[in-house]
Amino acid sequence: MALEQKVDDLFDQLTSYADQGLGALGRAQQEIHALKERNLELESRVEELEGKLNQLKEKINTQLQGPEAESLLSRPDALMMLIRETLGLKAPEAQKVPEEGFANLEAMNPQQRLEHWVSKYPRAFMPGQPQPLKIGIHEDLLAAEGGDQKKIRRALAGYVKLPRYLRCLKAGAVRLDLQGSNAGFVTEQEAEFAREQLELWETQKKQKEHQRRKQEEEQKKRAEEDRLSSKLQQLMQLNTR
């Protein structure tokens, strides 16, 4: 009897475990079914959003082709560049300067050439709010405009060595080509070099300011000495009369 009782108890336990396993399996199947339905809903939602995005893209693309959008497209910042890349729009290619224009460019001084670039490539050269330029952009300028590479580098130096430009060279910042398109990113090493150049510039600025004040103080001192000397001479002349 004791053995039969043990067998019955074991059978009951096995039956209980089986019921629990079947219950868990049923719940798992229900969850899988619910997840499949949710997945179908999400896929449908994604298709719907993609359709709306394509419609929006076509609408914006159509609007950006109109003459009234010229002022918007010529904005000197990276916003339009990001919009164009997001929507897959092509930036207008820079027009190459005709041969007869080379002589005029070569006659420009560095500041005049930089002003020419600001006017011709407003999506790249933005003195008011500069963005990092593409590495090797001097080669693009040479290919687009020709001329003396040394003069191009000299004019570029007047732009990329400005404190405002150095401050924009943050690690991960987007570099721009002549059309304002993504042309790479600023590395940590490049950002560190820019910080060092900026610190050097600020140190030199402080030294020049200190030297200027020192010279002003010396000039004031000499002027005061000259004034006293003149007064003394006048007094001496009065005493000799």
Question: What CATH number corresponds to the domain at position 158?
Answer: 1.10.1710.10
Whether 34 is covered by a domain: the verdict is no
Whether 163 is covered by a domain: the verdict is yes
- What pLDDT is stored for residue 78 in this prediction? 47
Count of positions (residues) in the chain: 241
Retrieve residue 173's tokens. Answer: 């910042």
Dihedrals phi, psi of 205, to nearest 5 degrees = -65, -45
Percent of the chain with pLDDT over 90: 34
* Per-chain mean pLDDT for the chain: 78
Residue whose tokens read 């933005």: 126
CB contact set of 181 (below 8 Å; sequence gap of 6+): 81, 84, 85, 91
Q: What DSSP assignment string belongs to 68-103?
A: GGHHHHT-SSSHHHHHHHHHTPPPPPPPPPPHHHHH
At residue 73, does pLDDT exceed 80?
Answer: no
Residues 161 and 226 grouped into a single domain? no
- What pLDDT is stored for residue 216 in this prediction? 86
Based on the structure, what is the number of domains in the chain? 2
Q: pTM score, two decimals?
A: 0.50
- What is d(CA 135, CA 150) in angstroms, rounded to the nearest whole number? 16
Whether 233 is covered by a domain: the verdict is yes
Boundaries of domain holding 227: 196-241
73 touches 80 (CB < 8 A): yes
Where residue 231 falls among pLDDT bands split at 50, 70, 90?
confident
Domain final position from 167, 186, 205: 186
